[in-house]
Structure 1
């Protein structure tokens, strides 16, 4: 992929320059381009459209595992990518090939004719073209940002999904939870069934008002379906009955709620119990408490377990801490690199209770990286014993020497996670 990806990389770099604003939420440019491309969004296999703040990717991964278990062919569109842009587009279960991607981007660039368009819009149009031209049973679309004016919100899905909504991206979506929930609820379509994951009351009120306005049949957590853990099994109940399933393969107590949302979607789509079980056991979502199995970092760890997580906001810090406390007791050391745009202390504060030390690193090749010393200072301010290292590899080597057989968690940024996966994936 290193050299083969060159052609699509060149086109992607060029597309970045077509619109000076990084994000500008409107559907006008998207609709114009799709018209010029012959409206591929109207020819997609049945769509599951997923919005929300937390858990979109994990929920989508479980839905995909459930649908594929019944030998279903599934397209999937997710963002951001970790190691390679190609990860964003899965055609009938396989990551899009370099040749196919480059040809589609060329076609979209030609159709756009140099008019203003955002990077996300033109790459979403390329994904729609790919999905419309490749046979499959289902299309899974993850919203990029918000919902109402997101580039994916141009088709009528078979089912809409809203995972938990929290405060994020206020500069684009509004300052209050109610405003943000209103943007997410913008994916709800007239008469299209909508599955709603666990929500704070303020968000749920807004979502329920939109459901009432559109007459969309609703299946809401706590009202129409429930999920809980009993004797290390996951139990799901809805109006169709009870499912007794293995715990989700994705780690962490928060995955129970994501699993419930995925199961509610699969039941709506008529998936049988075997498919629902596969959704629990077969889902893979990289850089979510992912245990690394090979590569230079695993070799350097010399028997210590190495986990990778791309979470980077205070909510993610709480989720990672809860996941660590759920795992078998083991001395834990953190390797952390973060961007200078994030709430570093807010992310690290919950982790300080779960880990013995933190080694801070800069994120290589990232203009907005926080320097290691600043991250280490923030870590000390919330109670960590903190060090710095020149690289994640050096940090892991040092921890392995002083604390053999420990657990090492590399975290703080999707950019750092992507680099680690490129080198150890």
Structure 2
């Protein structure tokens, strides 16, 4: 087998939520446990940090991995979904898993995989654990996929659990209320393992407190003692623009950080990130202030993170972001409106079928000009249908089906001083040629 045929085996022979939706979702960890046992339980051969949440878990995972790398720990990072390459999901010190590792894994275990019939996600998780264990990493930062309790990553026994926030997303699988969704995410809380809750929410606090009590797990609500306040932008000595955050609170020993993730919504993630570093240091990890600052200032360079408030070009300023649920879109719109004065805002938008479209449309600015598109993906909402739905909310625009053609159309209409945003779905961002 070569790399391409190995990928085809992963993508086509096995169900995958990213492509087929509900049929790939299993409320059962048995396949992952069997597969890990077949591999010699690699998940028990390294220390791990487990992260769940509706929004912010990817940014938090990459931030912590970056800090650990700066502290000279060999750091594995498992995230999903990928944007451009499957190999983005599995990294060590920011370097993607080699093609040969994927080929060898499929070759060595193909017979067993055909017999067990695990999902794409179950097999990818096992592949990452096996790779991390064989490479002898110090720590792994593991991001859950959709939920927590039945997420395939939930076979690890981490040294720290983190839940970033709870919002409405994947309600058909996780529940139709915040407390039900929180219950699923709380499934990553383990016996006597500290847990950080990034954002306090009235509807979810009791859920997390009860689960932590049940598991005798020390619980910290990060935003109750650490606050991050946006304080503008700076051009640092390396010539790169970064966001400056003032840090306040009794649990923070630093007063200011520079972050290379430019979305203002990172202010919601920073308390959880800083509280997590405090816990890790209390467990004996050696992370000094200089390494912490460098890790937060160089997340993109250290980990290769893409698609988080990423500038694609200027004149006109063109920004993409993978935020796709109600809370994510609301944060994106809020920041876009701070950038827009008298300029025209163009929104190049595509979404998947199984989202709460009406709730998202309620958050979108009516004065924007919309270009509706669709990613080349079975779960995508047809662009024409998206336009028709949006019209009912006073959102007007045109249809240009292919993602890059839609972006080119917006650029052709926009003046140099105007503002273009492209997103609405991770799949849309993944297809941008400029990314």
Give the TM-score, by structure 1 length: 0.88
Deviation at 1:197, TM superposition (A): 0.7
The C-alpha deviation readout for 1:192-228, integer Å capped at 9, x for no partner, is 11111113222111101111222212221244x3113
Q: Where do 1:171-320 residues align within 5 Å?
A: 171-223=172-224, 225-229=225-229, 231-232=231-232, 233-237=244-248, 241-270=252-281, 271-284=287-300, 285-293=305-313, 303-320=315-332
1:55 is aligned to 2:56: yes
CA distance 1:208–1:397, change in 2 (3 Å): same
Distance 1:292 1:372, change over 3 A: same
The aligned counterpart of 1:298 is none
Question: By how many angstroms is 1:230 displaced?
Answer: 6.3
For residues 388 and 259 of structure 2, the distance between their equivalents in structure 1, rounded to whole angstroms, comes to: 36
* 1:22 maps to 2:57: no
After TM superposition, give the deviation of residue 238 of structure 1 in Å: 5.5
**Secondary structure of the equivalent of 1:189?**
coil
Question: Which stretches in structure 2 are left out of the alignment for 5+ residues?
Answer: 233-243, 282-286
- Residue 158 of structure 2 aligns with which residue? 157
Aligned to 2:379: 368
- What residue number does 1:296 align with? none
CA RMSD of aligned residues (A): 2.5
| Distance (Å, rounded) in 1 between the aligned partners of 2:361 and 2:399 | 15
CA contact (8 A) 1:361 1:389 kept: yes
Question: For the residues of structure 2 that align with 1:228 and 1:207, how far apart are their CA atoms?
Answer: 23
- For normalisation by structure 2, the TM-score amounts to 0.86
Match of residue 41 from structure 2 = 39
Superposed CA offset, 1:295-347 (max 9, x none): xxxxxx8x312211222222222111112133364432111122222233432
Q: How does 1:326-345 map to 2 (within 5 A)?
A: 326-327=338-339, 329=341, 330-345=343-358
For 2:360, which of 337, 341, 347 is the aligned residue? 347
- Describe the superposition over 1:245-267 as per-residue Cα deviations: whole angstroms up to 9, x where unpaired: 23432233321011221111122
1:39 CA displacement: 1.0
